[in-house]
Structure 1
Amino acid sequence: MATACACCAVWALDPAPALAQSPEVQRHLALAREAAGTDLLSYFGLSQIAAPTPGLRRVSPDELMRMPTPPPGQAFDNLFFVGNRWVSAWAVVTSDGIILIDAMDNDDEAEHIIDAGMRKLGLDPKSIKMVVVTHGHGDHYGGVGYLKRKYNPQIIASTLDWTMMETALEFDRPDWGRPPQRDVAVDDGSVLRLGDTSIDVLLTPGHTMGTISLLFNARSGGATHRVMLWGGTAFNFGRRADRLTRIDAYIAATDRAREIAVRQNVDVFISNHNIYDQAVEKLETMARGGPNPFVLGSATTARALTVMNECAKATRVVWSS
């Protein structure tokens, strides 16, 4: 069991300069850079594993956790952010209660960020009927214990990651809560239903082999937007023996998700880490008025998945050399 940041740790040996500069690596990174433009550079940070920038200082999870907790916010009529600058939790409000997506690091955060944040937004935490754990790392399941004891929601995770949480944690930290007890298992194609809301489950392996991403509708006034919440972004498996299997799974998952995003006109692409989707900054922008910055358009959603996909392909070249 390793002790590290589960979601943003590089966990990869720096490649030799010749590998990072190889034509194939540079071709994939050029495609990623083109897709990133100036608005998706947070996702282009994944390129650092294949071609590190000398002297670049990464902000650590511990530094992000020490920053003041941002205020909770409302992204859409039925979608609310309750998290910090490190890890996110999202509340989807339905006609029959609330579906909470992820539970942050531990009981303290669940109580003082998720629970308290929902109350500030006028939401009743007693209405939480489901907690969806996007993948089996403690910064996403750590607060489940508090929520389960207090409100007794269903706890939902993929079959693969329930098994991983029960048998062989990939990462652990002393400030994370303990893994939840197995409750509801879902797989690719499962649909979560609560009241007037359906959430489609998409298995997107790589970050963990059981990572799930979610597709659902968000409302804003009279408009409906299709949302994809990506369940696990970083290539955090570079020292594992199965790293090529994992990066291949990630490449296939982003290819497939991009096709689905185009087909379903997914115009909102969010994450469970603010460092990728910049949800905190977008909520600050919303407070000043103007168009909703969460509405990116389906072409931008496809570009984000292209950035992730091409960075993964560049990383695979380095790891397989």
Structure 2
Amino acid sequence: MRISERLTMLSFPVGQGYLWRDGESLTLIDTGTAGSGAQIAASIAELGLDPAAVERIVITHGHNDHFGAAAEVRGWHGAPVLAHRADADIVRGSAMPGIPVLAGWEREIFEEVVPTVPAAPPCPVDVELLGGEVLDFGGGAHIVPVPGHTDGSVAVFLPAHGVLFTGDTIAYANDQVILGVFNTDPALAAASMRVQADLGADTVCFGHGAPVVTGGASALRAAVSRLE
């Protein structure tokens, strides 16, 4: 799905990733499930580019549906993988993700969806993020630590373009923005949602659910109000 000239959403069997374009250079934000490489390559070809155009892979958090194809894509041409230090060992395959604290209504969804997600091959993490970094794409991409879904969840904010990538900290379901599900610390996740609402993004791209293309800040603030 082309959201704009610079932004493409990749829809996987579970979850979503995004391609951000700066001229002939691409940044991949999340890679979908294991085996998604061919789909990612096809989307790159539709942009008239070669897979070598992927200059970096940013992982928003250490869940299999978000870094499953990272090793495959990194293997194309050595694009570095970036992930927060708290989730980096999960991506490397040497640690397990935290156990979510499930509300009653989440449990059935969790038991239905999670077993369908294939295991992610271990992937090297070339750059461990701490939060607060400004990366060299999108006019300066701010890495915002947003723990709560996982300890190492990050959002990626492009102030120059008003675009925010939330990973799974926030989602879109039932025609509205909601707090993401399956959080290891629901209260901390809610606090991270408030942080993102204050960024003033116009376009908000979620790990699950349709993006909010315009009016994102208002949609996030409304979601925060519903939490309270």
Shorter-chain TM-score bucket reads 0.7 to 0.9
SS of 2:57's partner is: strand
Partner Cα distance (1:123, 1:82) in 2? 16
Shift in CA distance, 297/203, structure 1 to aligned 2, threshold 3 Å: closer
Partner Cα distance (2:77, 2:156) in 1? 23
Kindly indicate whether residue 171 of structure 2 is the aligned counterpart of residue 255 of structure 1.
no
Kindly indicate whether residue 9 of structure 2 is the aligned counterpart of residue 99 of structure 1.
no
- Give 1:150 deviation, angstroms: 1.1
Kindly indicate whether residue 203 of structure 2 is the aligned counterpart of residue 268 of structure 1.
yes
Kindly indicate whether residue 104 of structure 2 is the aligned counterpart of residue 169 of structure 1.
no
- Give 1:177 deviation, angstroms: 2.5
Corresponding residue for residue 182 of structure 2: 236
Kindly indicate whether residue 36 of structure 2 is the aligned counterpart of residue 109 of structure 1.
yes
- Of 196-205 and 160-169, deviating more is 160-169
Structure with the bigger RCO (C-alpha within 8 Å, sep 6+) is 1
The one-letter amino acid of 1:98's match is L
More strand by percentage: 2
- Give 1:260 deviation, angstroms: 2.5
Task: Count the aligned residue pairs.
Answer: 201
Residues 231 and 271 of structure 1 are in contact (CA less than 8 Å); yes or no, is this contact kept in structure 2?
Answer: yes
The one-letter amino acid of 1:303's match is A
- Give 1:297 deviation, angstroms: 4.8
User: What is the RMSD of the two structures over their aligned residues, measured on CA atoms?
Assistant: 2.4
- Give 1:199 deviation, angstroms: 0.8
Corresponding residue for residue 84 of structure 1: 12
1:214-264 deviations in Å (ceiling 9; x for gaps): 1015xxxxxx74011112233314xxxxx5xx1221122122222223xxx
- Give 1:90 deviation, angstroms: 0.6
TM-score (norm 1): 0.57
Corresponding residue for residue 222 of structure 2: 303
More helix by percentage: 1
Residues 14 and 33 of structure 2 are in contact (CA less than 8 Å); yes or no, is this contact kept in structure 1?
Answer: no
1:76-96 deviations in Å (ceiling 9; x for gaps): 121112223532121111146
Kindly indicate whether residue 119 of structure 2 is the aligned counterpart of residue 184 of structure 1.
no
- Give 1:135 deviation, angstroms: 0.3
Unaligned runs of 5+ in 1: 1-72, 218-223, 238-242, 280-292, 314-321
1:248-301 deviations in Å (ceiling 9; x for gaps): 21122122222223xxxx11111122xx3x24xxxxxxxxxxxxx711253223
The one-letter amino acid of 2:22's match is T
- Give 1:125 deviation, angstroms: 1.7
Alignment of 1:189-200 (within 5 A): 189-194=132-137, 197-200=139-142
Corresponding residue for residue 120 of structure 1: 46
